[in-house]
Amino acid sequence: MDPDSIKSVKGSETQGHRFEGGLSTKGVTKKEIEEKPLVSIITVVLNGEDYILETINSVLNQTYDNIEFIIIDGGSTDGTLDIIRKFEERIDLWVSEPDRGIYDAMNKGIAFATGSYLNFLNSDDHYVDSRVLERIIGVFKKTGVALVYGDTIMLNKSKGFGWLRHSDVNPLYFLFKGIPQQVFFYDRLLFQKYGTFNSEFKIVADLEYFLKITRKHGEKTKYVRMPLVVFNAGATSSNMEKKDEERGPVINQYFSKKIRFLFKNRFFFNQLARNDLTYPKITIVDRLLRKLFKSL
């Protein structure tokens, strides 16, 4: 994303009231440090008073101490803004105004962000512990990859049960499912090179972006075998028909007709998309499929 487009987003306002606050509105900004690159954490929220306090504390309690914390609120009408204002001196920027959905709000966050690395932590999710960012930055430094991701604890907060979803998946897995976007940590350069999320999608823009940067552009990624985020599974979209409707064109774009014909069926779903509860062994079949996939 070029600087001019960032300025245009920052200067725009949607219809309705707009409120903002935080340290940067008072002239206090975070700086890049050679040994401690700035990490921008972007939280998108709309009427999230039940869980946003847990999300805020999860970010502010990180041991890594060079964080730019940005909250993009879609015009909440409950007590969300009251909670946010209580942390006025610790949040770098919060903005409240109507938006066109979660990916539009995430793109606004990208426009405001100045960190070398970005993560999107939704208002009803939180990090598993206080050292997540410290570990992730260590991985970026060692590997030099463009994107780092790990595993997710899927927790239905309203019903009180959860499970582990691992993310060390076969590339063909994405024919059937995606990885929760909260566990993706992005190098900011990705958004400068390839643009932001396609906000025409309402559910699968993060999947489309991951496939674009990896399958189309060949950007290097690194999986870390550890849970990073507790994801509120009870808040995920129940509109499976809409998800399937959006997923179809994405899969058609990034997987050839031959691959879809050979692998997009129930047999391979059972082989490749059972990634909940445990860390399955990488079987001989899985290894062969990974090699075969590269040649198709």
Phi, psi of 197 (to 5 degrees): -70, 145
Q: pLDDT of 269-281, one tens digit each?
A: 988 888 776 555 5
Strand pairing class (221-232; 147-156): parallel
pLDDT for 264 equals 94
Cβ–Cβ < 8 Å for 276, 227 = no
pLDDT for 7 equals 35
pLDDT for 235 equals 56
Cα angle at 205 between 253 and 152, to 5 degrees? 115
* pTM, two decimal places: 0.89
Q: pLDDT of 243-290, one tens digit each?
A: 778 999 999 999 999 999 999 999 889 888 887 765 555 666 677 777
pLDDT for 4 equals 39
pLDDT for 283 equals 64
pLDDT for 1 equals 37
Number of domains in the chain: 1
Q: At 57, is the secondary structure helix, strand, or coil? A: helix
Distance CA 223, CA 146 (A): 11
3-state SS of the chain: helix, strand, coil percent to 5? Answer: 40, 20, 40
Q: Does residue 230 surpass a pLDDT of 90?
A: yes
pLDDT for 282 equals 61
Over the chain, what is the mean pLDDT? Answer: 88
DSSP 214: I
Give the range of the structural domain holding residue 157, as residue numbers without chain letter.
3-295
Considering only residues 16 and 138, tell me which one the structure prediction assigns the higher pLDDT: 138
How would DSSP label each residue in 139-183?
A: HHHHH--SEEEEEEEEEETTTTEEEEE-----GGGGGT----GGG
Which residues fall within 8 angstroms of residue 171, CB to CB, at 6 or more apart?
Answer: 215, 290, 293
Q: Write down the residue that tokens 């306090």 correspond to.
A: 53
Q: Does residue 63 surpass a pLDDT of 80?
A: yes
Q: Write down the residue that tokens 């430094």 correspond to.
A: 141
The CATH number given to whatever domain includes residue 166 is 3.90.550.10
